[in-house]
């Protein structure tokens, strides 16, 4: 029997994935083969972690993935799809777990969910709303952090996405949780004893800690234009560990409603001296973002853009209607079109007294297809479900 016929015989419980990238950051979309999950979307997230985490490890880590792979598990049924509030749900996967929000993956999913007409993959595809005048299709995506309104540019008849125009999404409520928070770090060869930094904390569907690179001895002379990635990795890891170790910091990443969303997701190094503005924006800046188990985002990070907009709004440096350009290392070195455009849409009335205002944001960027896979695990594969990273062996 031919090798291809052998692999497709059904013996191996295949998982089918579509691979895309958004401004350089991958999204592996699991379209068929993931075990069924039940309950609310957050309950499905918990079930995936407890019972089926080997699937995440199999697809995110080596030998089928890599340390910086990112994934999305489509969920046809959630409490919001059953109520008619959402068209489809999604769970996001990283190298060490399940994130609560992902902007780059949302942009990629927007294109894919418009392009697919397979009702077994997207049962509510025919329910999407199409505007023939604007040539836009509108999608309501239920993420673990809440409902995202996604706008996808399309062809004349709305049957396919138009990759020449950016996909955008409107965020959940975003808000700063702490400005100018002083944090003292344990001594390191990279900085002296008693070294402290000042950081901002904010929520954009996940919680972020943002640090201006001009404070850092190993970055202040060159910023993100020329720096030591290993040093940046050691610093962000030490900062995240220090913040998490102090229970007094927990208010900085405490979600007002859901405990499952209450954790520090990412540390962002911000360089406000770099980047060219996209048309229609007031300015630009660059960022280097570490998330999960020190994954490095190749894109400017959609949820991070929302969090940064919330900080700018809290500081009164941006107001409703203002847009700003956010660059990654990739967009700085390749094309300005690989940057994200972030816009403060409007202030949102909070449900309870809060220190900083809440806003909704719009983030837009470009996504492209890179391929598709049918992943299998042979019954005698000694590493079938383990998954590994070389970084893990080195620690």
Tens of pLDDT, residues 81-135: 999 999 999 999 999 999 999 999 999 999 999 999 999 999 999 999 999 999 9
**Where are any strands of DSSP class E within the chain?**
15-22, 25-32, 71-75, 88-93, 98-99, 129-131, 136-143, 146-153, 167-170, 174-184, 196-203, 207-212, 264-271, 284-291, 295-296, 323-327, 340-348, 358-365, 367-375
* Better-predicted residue by pLDDT, 334 or 12: 334
Of the three residues 117, 144, 165, the one that is the final residue of a domain is 165
Could you tell me if 86 and 105 lie in one domain?
A: yes
Tell me the average pLDDT of the chain. Answer: 94
Res. 8: pLDDT tops 60: no
Average pLDDT, integer, range 354-381: 94
Of the three residues 148, 165, 182, the one that is the final residue of a domain is 165
Of the three residues 119, 145, 165, the one that is the final residue of a domain is 165
Rg for the chain, CA atoms, rounded = 21
Average pLDDT, integer, range 297-301: 97
Could you tell me if 119 and 205 lie in one domain?
A: no
180: region left, alpha or beta (phi > 0 left; psi from -120 to 50 alpha)? left
* Predicted confidence band of residue 1 (pLDDT cuts 50, 70, 90): very low
Is residue 380 in some structural domain?
no
Could you tell me if 187 and 264 lie in one domain?
A: yes
Could you tell me if 154 and 191 lie in one domain?
A: no
Could you tell me if 296 and 358 lie in one domain?
A: yes
Res. 12: pLDDT tops 70: no
* Predicted confidence band of residue 383 (pLDDT cuts 50, 70, 90): confident
Is residue 374 in some structural domain?
no
Q: How many domains does the chain have?
A: 2
Res. 395: pLDDT tops 70: no
Res. 393: pLDDT tops 70: no
Could you tell me if 322 and 199 lie in one domain?
A: yes
Could you tell me if 202 and 141 lie in one domain?
A: no
Res. 297: pLDDT tops 80: yes
CATH number of the domain that 219 lies in? 3.10.310.10
Q: Cα(310)–Cα(344) distance, rounded to whole angstroms?
A: 8
* Predicted confidence band of residue 199 (pLDDT cuts 50, 70, 90): very high
- Asked if 367 contacts 110 with a C-beta cutoff of 8 angstroms, the reply is yes
Is residue 370 in some structural domain?
no
Looking at residue 221, its pLDDT comes to 78
Could you tell me if 224 and 185 lie in one domain?
A: yes
pTM: 0.96
Which candidate in 17, 23, 102, 145 is catalytic? 102
Could you tell me if 184 and 329 lie in one domain?
A: yes
Is residue 290 in some structural domain?
yes
Could you tell me if 194 and 138 lie in one domain?
A: no
Could you tell me if 126 and 254 lie in one domain?
A: no
Residue 217 CA from chain centroid, whole number: 29
Looking at residue 2, its pLDDT comes to 57
What is the full DSSP assignment across 242-307? Answer: HHHH-GGGGGGG--SS-GGG-SEEEEEEEETT--PPPTT-S-EEEEEEEETTTEE-SS--HHHHHH
Instruction: Give per-residue pLDDT as tens, 256-270.
Output: 999 999 999 999 999
Establish whether 102 is a catalytic residue. yes
Could you tell me if 133 and 228 lie in one domain?
A: no
Average pLDDT, integer, range 340-359: 90
Res. 394: pLDDT tops 80: no
Looking at residue 11, its pLDDT comes to 56
Q: Cα(199)–Cα(79) distance, rounded to whole angstroms?
A: 36
Structural domain range at position 238 = 174-365
């Amino acid at each position: 029997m031919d090798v291809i016929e052998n692999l497709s015989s059904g013996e191996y419980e295949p998982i089918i994935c579509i691979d895309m990238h958004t401004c350089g950051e991958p999204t592996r979309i699991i379209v068929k083969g993931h075990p069924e999950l039940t309950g609310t979307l957050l309950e499905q997230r918990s079930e995936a972690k407890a019972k089926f985490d080997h699937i995440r490890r199999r697809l995110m880590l080596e030998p089928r993935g890599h340390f910086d792979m990112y994934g999305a598990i489509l969920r046809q049924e959630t409490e919001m799809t059953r109520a008619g509030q959402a068209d489809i749900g999604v769970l996001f996967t990283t190298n060490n777990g399940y994130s609560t929000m992902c902007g780059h993956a949302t942009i990629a999913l927007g294109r894919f969910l418009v392009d697919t007409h397979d009702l077994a993959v997207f049962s509510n595809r025919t329910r999407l709303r199409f505007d023939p005048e604007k040539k836009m299709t509108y999608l309501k995506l239920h993420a673990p952090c809440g409902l995202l309104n996604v706008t996808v540019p399309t062809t004349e008849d709305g049957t396919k996405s138009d990759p020449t125009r950016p996909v955008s999404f409107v965020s959940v409520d975003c808000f700063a949780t702490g400005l100018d928070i002083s944090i003292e770090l344990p001594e390191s060869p990279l900085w002296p004893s008693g070294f402290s930094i000042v950081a901002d904390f904010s929520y954009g569907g996940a919680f972020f800690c943002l640090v201006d690179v001009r404070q850092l001895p190993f970055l202040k002379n060159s910023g993100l234009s020329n720096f030591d990635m290993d040093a940046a990795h050691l610093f962000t890891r030490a900062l995240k560990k220090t913040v998490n170790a102090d229970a007094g910091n927990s208010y900085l990443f405490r979600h007002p409603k859901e405990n499952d969303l209450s954790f520090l997701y990412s540390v962002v190094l911000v360089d406000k001296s770099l980047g060219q503005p996209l048309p229609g924006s007031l300015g630009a800046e660059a960022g280097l973002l570490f998330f999960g188990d020190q994954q490095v985002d190749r894109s400017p990070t959609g949820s991070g853009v929302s969090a940064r907009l919330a900080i700018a709004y809290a500081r009164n440096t941006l107001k409703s209607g203002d847009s700003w350009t956010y660059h990654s290392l990739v967009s700085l070195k390749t094309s300005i079109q690989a940057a994200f455009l972030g816009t403060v849409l409007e202030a949102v009335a909070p449900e309870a007294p809060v220190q900083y205002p809440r806003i909704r944001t719009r983030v837009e960027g470009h996504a492209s297809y890179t391929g598709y896979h049918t992943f299998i695990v042979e019954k005698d594969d000694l590493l079938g479900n383990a998954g590994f990273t070389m970084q893990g062996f080195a620690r």
